[in-house]
Structure 1
Amino acid sequence: MKRKCLLILGDGMADEPIEALGKMSPLEYASTPNMDTIARNGRMGLLETVPPGFEPGSDVANLSVLGYDPALYYTGRGPLEAASMGVDLAEDDIAYRCNLVTIRDGVMEDFSAGHISSEEGMELFSSLQEALTDVSLYPGISYRNLLVLHHGKGSSSTPPHDIVGQPIRSYLPKGADADILCHCMEVSAEVFADHPVNLKRIEKGQFPATSIWPWSGGQTPKIPSFEEQYGRSGGMISAVDLLFGIARIAGMEVIKVPGATGYLDTNYEGKIRYALDALKWLDFVYVHVEAPDEAGHLGSLEEKVRAIERLDEVLGIALAEFDGIIAVLPDHPTPLRIKTHTSDPVPFAVLGKGHDDCGSYSEREAEKGSYGLIRGPELLPLLFTE
């Protein structure tokens, strides 16, 4: 009989030793009795979620954790988000993730335009679409939106969260689609300059959305379904289009939770409750929590520790009510020192597959784990092996 499995992923939880914490990482410093219970009564190891040569994005890392080798299946973040939004791409369409950002005096001031609301983003994109007739724009959640370039050739571009505080000139799109993408950015700056949405945000002391920033474009990947891959049914809980897109392409059930925001104020308990309910009919549920990553990008130690502790608190519900296999891990580190992702291996702990001598859940303890260092796509086969 197959044992059911719950995977809890705290996006960007892993970090580095921090002087202000007595050279502890946020995971070591935070109060995490439930993660520690999983580590103490289970087994630990380190997971290489970002293969050599790949940028350490959540797209690459989460594909890897789900067992899809990025070297075989990754084409870009844009098409994954297009799938989530129900946007069907033609064979020669290139879908780009398209942030609303704040750029002042040629410097990337904020990669999210102050975490602009979805409603405000929709108004801005509606006005911009009227001015850009050669591309298709799709508003998403908050600052996370989509630009589809028809008959595209591709372009390399830098994630805006990687260049906060830096001049943008050397990070603008490069490659075959660069001219049209830069043109779209210039038009957006003109359309947004005196837009009512931005005037209201400025009046409230909030970051205005001064421009769009297209990045990580690609065509729809062709991947085997989750059930074909593992012979099991799977579900995805998140608040981020990227994760829903991966799930839809993989044929997993998309489970939306009221109050799940993709930010620091997300509905932590609701995600666990919905996951436990879904496990009544599904074999596997993947719960993605974005909050630690957002805190990492903000460079806020206080918020990162709080996000980790809030996630740990609701893990107690799973420990009390679920009798299957539980795994906990990040997808990648988001160190507060640099406010962006790294490709370092992440700590993972598994309850229900034996135990080793680790005493708590952290990066350093994981180095002692009996699983050792394994590649991302090896994790789920390990969990599913009876």
Structure 2
Amino acid sequence: MGSPAEPKRRVAFVLIDGLGDVSIPRFGNKTPLQAADVPNLDAIASAGVNGLMDPVEVGLGCGSDTAHLSLLGYDPRVYYRGRGAFESMGAGLAMSPGDIAFKSNFATLDEKTGIVTSRRADRHFEEEGPILCVALDRMKLPSFPEYEVRVRYATEHRCGVVVKGPRLSGNISGTDPLKDNRLLLEAKALDDSDEARHTAAVVNELSREISKILVSHPLNAKRLAEGKSVANIVLLRGCGIRIEVPQFEKKHGLWPCMVAPTKIIAGLGLSLDIDILEAPGATGDYRTLLTSKATAIAKALSTPLQTSPSVFVPGEDEHKPGRSDGYDFGFLHIKAIDDAGHDKASVFKVKGLEAVDRAIAQLAKLLWQAESTGNFQYFICVTGDHSTPVEYGDHSYEPVPFTICRLKDFVGAVGGESSVLETSLDPFPLPTVKAGEDLNEAIGLEKGRKCKQVQAFCGDSVFEFNEIAAARGCLGRFPGSMLALMSHVNSISVPFILVEIAAIHDLVHPSADMFIEPQSLLKNNDLVSSGWHVPSSTDRLIFAASSVIYKLCVSDSSFFFQYTSLTRMCYILGRSFHGESSFPSAFSTLFGELPKETWYCSDLYNWEGFWYASSHLPAAMAARLNFQANDSDVFLTSSMKTGNTWLKAIIPTIMNPIGCMDDDNNDPLLKRHPNELMPSLEVHLFKENPNPDLSYMSSPRLFQTHVPYPIRVHVFGPFHDHVLSYCKESIKRPEKILFLKYEDMKKDPRAELRRLACFLGRPFEKEEEVDKVLWRCSLERLKNLEVNQHGADPWLGFEYKFYFRRGSAGDWKNNMSNEMKEKLDHIAAMKFEGSGLGFGH
């Protein structure tokens, strides 16, 4: 791999889980990265090249497992088969192709009611968890004696469970209800195959037998006597099947290693044949020792000058020696920042990032000591796998900052070799945060970052590491799959973004005309004030996507704050809305810069991860910029052909008292098409005027929109991740978000109508009122009304009669081949896996 006289090129890739965030009011509308004092991360950005990265694709709020697959060069749509296999392999369970595994929790079950009272029996289960896992390991299933069950403790309340045997399918749901105080679920087949149905039966017996063993275990009797929650069930979710995956080294020509105490990431690495290094004291939680992680990666990348750390082997008690020639690619995973996001610990996320910055300095010192021998040339890359905003508490779709530099340029950016070598290598714990601690008092936010730079050291013109600054980088916004363009590390092409970046350094200069700063179009200070309106009031949405209906409170800034506000798109918006150009003609130049696809006969443009027709995109942008929400607003947001015309009749009828009375002559459905009763944002209200006067609308205002939820190259697409996100939000905020299935509306319309009426604050007092609404809004009546049989939509040109079809759930199967149906079933199963969501038609 290259001439011996040449230094070996090696990459330290630091992945900060949950790195990205959004602006937080208590931080002066800064993100945690902006608020934190991170001079070493800033130095990497100042010394290298930068950009915003979508780990999988634009607009996708991905999980860590799918994001890591993408960043490591494996398309998750091809290679992802559930996270259970990763979790179990990371816990030390060897798996063969065809085995299935689960990401599992020790939990507490009310045996009388079957309700899971706590999905986490005890977060501090380090002593008792291994004991219970030993009791479960190699258990027998009475009805299925040919199957082998392996159980291994992972961390906290988690364990890995593997089932080995014939005819197993990963296409089943789990037993985890995903929320406390819900019934324990039964595993169900997610397709019509005999293997899936058989596997569901095996897993349901496994769940029952696990409970029997745990209920009778003396450890639980002891916990009960001590007043602690018993661990009498293991919740099984995220069923994954082990499949053959190309080895990382074969695929990319790089010898890889990884430090990842988080079991699921370690298991993912093992499935790609990446060596998992031993790092004493490193954990997947707040107790981790970052110094140990940095030291392990530095040793692996500087071997043979130093001895490589030992390597973890699944199914074996002993570790094996690391590779004698060392590794080309060292992947350092840091989990604690993601935990801070999930725990909504804003101050800790800032302090945690400062601790990560300190570990980066230690890593740089160790690598510089090796590079100074002349044997190596190092590159440091830092990014995240997704955003986990602390005010949201879950993964989101915002892009993450990305930066990479040569180590020698980093040394120059921090002030020279003496500054690097004076870094202490003493281990340190993550910081602690007191309850109610204020960030201003904790880190002196009002003073800003220390040693503030005002220009880049080299590379592009970015000189600090955060979500906003990265948008100015020369790499622009790019998908994580670009990181997979790897070949041989010592032949100068590991890839455009990883090692060949050395050549880019020589081309990019802050004054270069070829890189025009979006900052010149829209200043950082204008990020929020320039128009991305965050409503202070609470507007409500009902969202129907592929047979699903939602309602959502969108007061969270994460729904409105987008980093693309630093791009030309927002600049065009700003000019148009201040009268400097016509509307929507100001967008003509924008369309030429957006990704474009053809769907049927229409040109669609991708903006922020969604596909829009050219006639809808300006209105969608205008609505997001200028729409002012009222507390009483109700939104129906739906993908096309999902029953939303039916709902546009039902919702106004419920909200209008006349709709429940016997006075049919005043029924608004007799004179107006449902589209007129709930006007669309992008089709009606904002299409011609970017800031329409809506004062004529009486309260409660009823709106409808298709934006921005749907399918791959399909107008307003994709939609699976939004189904999941709104499903989760409906659980968190049931008073603001209603989650309905179209199939349920067809199966039991009376029950679903009552739910909808109560949710809208118009509960029925008499059964006759339910009957009246059902009759007025029946599809048969709506089809036959005179107003719906003649005329056409003045905005779209479609004849009104075409808005009413058969209305049969599952009718799509009558229009597709078996192969197409199987593909759609597989996609839905993969997207909804572990969520408990499924569609029975």
* TM-score (norm: length of structure 1): 0.86
- Counterpart CA distance in 1 for 2:345 and 2:227 is 20
More deviation, 231-240/366-375: 366-375
Pick from 138, 141, 147: which aligns with 2:154? 141
- Counterpart CA distance in 1 for 2:186 and 2:26 is 36
- Number of the residue aligned with 1:299: 344
The alpha-carbon deviation at position 119 of structure 1 amounts to: 3.5
- Number of the residue aligned with 2:808: none
Pick from 47, 70, 74: which aligns with 2:80? 74
The alpha-carbon deviation at position 102 of structure 1 amounts to: 4.9
Q: Describe the shift of the 1:42–1:91 C-alpha distance in structure 2 as closer, same or farther (beyond 3 A).
A: closer
The alpha-carbon deviation at position 7 of structure 1 amounts to: 0.7
- Counterpart CA distance in 1 for 2:298 and 2:399 is 28
Pick from 131, 134, 143: which aligns with 1:123? 131
The alpha-carbon deviation at position 14 of structure 1 amounts to: 1.7
More deviation, 203-212/316-325: 203-212
Q: Describe the shift of the 1:362–1:204 C-alpha distance in structure 2 as closer, same or farther (beyond 3 A).
A: farther
- Number of the residue aligned with 2:499: 384
User: Does 1:152 find its partner at 2:168?
Assistant: yes
- Number of the residue aligned with 1:342: 396
- Counterpart CA distance in 1 for 2:20 and 2:185 is 27
- Counterpart CA distance in 2 for 1:50 and 1:156 is 24
More deviation, 123-132/345-354: 123-132
- Number of the residue aligned with 1:213: 235
- Counterpart CA distance in 2 for 1:36 and 1:159 is 45
- Number of the residue aligned with 1:288: 333
1:163-202 alignment runs, 5 A limit: 163-164=178-179, 168-169=182-183, 173-175=187-189, 176=196, 177-189=199-211, 191-193=213-215, 195-198=217-220
- Counterpart CA distance in 2 for 1:337 and 1:164 is 20
The alpha-carbon deviation at position 84 of structure 1 amounts to: 3.6
- Counterpart CA distance in 2 for 1:88 and 1:356 is 45
The alpha-carbon deviation at position 253 of structure 1 amounts to: 2.2
The alpha-carbon deviation at position 279 of structure 1 amounts to: 0.6
* Contact 1:97–1:216 (8 Å) recurs in 2: yes
The alpha-carbon deviation at position 331 of structure 1 amounts to: 1.1
User: Does 1:251 find its partner at 2:305?
Assistant: no
- Counterpart CA distance in 2 for 1:290 and 1:159 is 26
- What letter matches 1:117 in structure 2? F
- Number of the residue aligned with 2:71: 65
- Counterpart CA distance in 2 for 1:295 and 1:267 is 16
- Counterpart CA distance in 2 for 1:202 and 1:15 is 41
The alpha-carbon deviation at position 77 of structure 1 amounts to: 1.5
1:236-247 alignment runs, 5 A limit: 236-247=258-269
Q: Describe the shift of the 1:107–1:69 C-alpha distance in structure 2 as closer, same or farther (beyond 3 A).
A: same
Q: Describe the shift of the 1:53–1:365 C-alpha distance in structure 2 as closer, same or farther (beyond 3 A).
A: closer
- Counterpart CA distance in 1 for 2:265 and 2:187 is 24
* TM-score (norm: length of structure 2): 0.42
- Number of the residue aligned with 2:52: 46
Question: What's the Cα RMSD here?
Answer: 3.2
Pick from 367, 381, 384: which aligns with 2:471? 367
Pick from 308, 325, 335: which aligns with 2:379? 325
- What letter matches 1:355 in structure 2? G
- Counterpart CA distance in 1 for 2:225 and 2:50 is 50
* Contact 1:238–1:256 (8 Å) recurs in 2: no
User: Does 1:9 find its partner at 2:15?
Assistant: yes
- What letter matches 1:237 in structure 2? V
Identity percentage of aligned residues: 29
User: Does 1:263 find its partner at 2:308?
Assistant: no
- The count of aligned residue pairs is 384
Q: Describe the shift of the 1:154–1:248 C-alpha distance in structure 2 as closer, same or farther (beyond 3 A).
A: closer
- What letter matches 1:360 in structure 2? E
- Counterpart CA distance in 1 for 2:348 and 2:109 is 25
The alpha-carbon deviation at position 243 of structure 1 amounts to: 2.4
- What letter matches 2:10 in structure 1? K
More deviation, 288-297/94-103: 94-103
- What letter matches 1:148 in structure 2? V
**Structure 1: 5+ residue runs without aligned partners?**
none
User: Comparing both structures, which one devotes a greater share of its residues to strand?
Assistant: 1
**Structure 2: 5+ residue runs without aligned partners?**
1-5, 190-195, 303-325, 369-377, 410-457, 485-494, 503-841
Q: Describe the shift of the 1:234–1:374 C-alpha distance in structure 2 as closer, same or farther (beyond 3 A).
A: same
Q: Describe the shift of the 1:333–1:195 C-alpha distance in structure 2 as closer, same or farther (beyond 3 A).
A: farther
- Counterpart CA distance in 1 for 2:51 and 2:118 is 35
Q: Describe the shift of the 1:228–1:123 C-alpha distance in structure 2 as closer, same or farther (beyond 3 A).
A: same
More deviation, 89-98/102-111: 102-111
More deviation, 48-57/111-120: 48-57
- What letter matches 2:478 in structure 1? I
* Contact 1:264–1:307 (8 Å) recurs in 2: no
* Contact 2:17–2:386 (8 Å) recurs in 1: yes
* Contact 2:138–2:151 (8 Å) recurs in 1: no
- Counterpart CA distance in 1 for 2:114 and 2:349 is 29
- Number of the residue aligned with 1:34: 40
Larger Rg: 2
- Counterpart CA distance in 1 for 2:217 and 2:389 is 35
More deviation, 49-58/276-285: 49-58
Q: Describe the shift of the 1:90–1:251 C-alpha distance in structure 2 as closer, same or farther (beyond 3 A).
A: closer
- Number of the residue aligned with 2:103: 97
More deviation, 63-72/258-267: 63-72
The alpha-carbon deviation at position 207 of structure 1 amounts to: 5.7
More deviation, 61-70/150-159: 150-159
The alpha-carbon deviation at position 235 of structure 1 amounts to: 0.8
Q: Secondary structure at the match of 1:349?
A: strand
- What letter matches 1:383 in structure 2? L
* Contact 1:173–1:215 (8 Å) recurs in 2: no
- Counterpart CA distance in 2 for 1:361 and 1:293 is 17
* Contact 1:185–1:211 (8 Å) recurs in 2: yes
More deviation, 217-226/282-291: 217-226
Q: Describe the shift of the 1:154–1:57 C-alpha distance in structure 2 as closer, same or farther (beyond 3 A).
A: same
